A and B are shown apart, each in its own frame.
Chain A
Amino acid sequence: MPIITIKNLSKSFIYHKKAEGLRGSIKALFKREKLTKDAVKNISFSINKGEFVGFLGPNGAGKTTTLKMLSGILYPTHGSIIVGGHNPAKRESEFKKKISIVMGQKAQLWPSLPAIETFTLIQKMYELDENNYRNRLNELANLMDVEDILNVQVRKLSLGQRMKCELIASLLHNPKILFLDEPTIGLDIVSQKKIREFLKEYNQKFKTTIILTSHYMDDVQDLCKRLIIINDGQIGYDGSIKDIIEEYSKDKNIHVIFRNKILKRDLSKIGKVYNYEPYEAKISIPMEEANKKISLLINKFPVKDINIKDVTLEEIVEDIFKNK
Chain B
Amino acid sequence: MNHIKKHLNLIIQSIKIQTMDKLEVALAFTFITLGIILQFTITIIFFKAIYLRSATIGGWDVNQVYILLGTYFIIQYISWSTYIRGFNKISRFIENGELDLYLSKPVNLKFFLSYRYIDPIFIIPQITVAIGLLFYGVSQTNADINILSYLFILACAFIIHFSLIVIISSINFFTIIRQVDHLHNTIFKLGQYPITIYKGFTRLVLSIIIPIAFIYSVPARAMVGDLSVKEILATIGITFIFYFISSLIWNLGLKRYESAHG
Contacts and interface: CB of A to CB of B under 8 A. Distances in A.
Interface in B94-128: 96-98, 100-101, 103-107
* Residues of A in contact with B, size category: 35 or more
Nearest to B2: A127
Ranked 8 nearest A-B pairs via Cβ = A96-B106, A93-B106, A124-B9, A121-B13, A73-B100, A124-B10, A73-B103, A101-B104
Contact of B104 (A71, A112, A113): A71
A277 to B, nearest CB: 35
A117 B258 contact: no
B53 interface: no
B104 A73 contact: yes
B143 interface: no
Majority secondary structure, B binding face: helix
Interface of A: 13, 39, 59-60, 64-65, 68, 71-75, 91, 93-94, 96-97, 99-101, 103, 105-106, 108, 110, 112-113, 117-118, 120-121, 124-127
A244 B3 CA distance: 49
Interface of B: 2, 6, 9-10, 12-14, 16-17, 20-21, 24, 96-98, 100-101, 103-107, 254-255, 257-259, 261-262
Contacts of A68: 100, 259
B244 to A, nearest CB: 20
13 contacts: A65-B261, A73-B100, A73-B257, A94-B106, A101-B100, A103-B101, A106-B98, A112-B24, A117-B20, A124-B6, A124-B10, A125-B105, A127-B2
B14 A121 contact: yes
B26 to A, nearest CB: 13
Contacts of A64: 261-262
Given A106-B98, A112-B24, A73 B106 contact: no
B258 A96 contact: no
B83 to A, nearest CB: 18
Contacts of B21: 110, 112-113
A99 B101 CA distance: 12
Nearest to A120: B13
Nearest to B3: A93
B153 to A, nearest CB: 33
B104 A127 contact: no
B107 A125 contact: yes
A96 to B, nearest CB: 4
Contact of B257 (A74, A110, A112): A74
A113 B19 CA distance: 11
Nearest to A68: B259
Given A91-B103, A101-B104, A125-B10, 6 more contacts: A68-B259, A93-B107, A110-B21, A112-B24, A121-B10, A127-B2
Nearest to A99: B104
Contacts of B107: 93, 125
Nearest to A121: B13
A161 B153 CA distance: 51
Nearest to A108: B101
Given A97-B106, A121-B17, A124-B6, A13 B100 contact: no
Nearest to A75: B255
Given A101-B100, A103-B101, A113 B20 contact: yes
A241 to B, nearest CB: 25
B104 A13 contact: no
Contacts of B98: 106
A110 B17 contact: yes
A13 B262 contact: no
Contacts of A127: 2, 6
A228 B2 CA distance: 41
A97 B14 CA distance: 20
Interface centre among B13, B96, B105, B259 (most CB of A within 10 A): B105
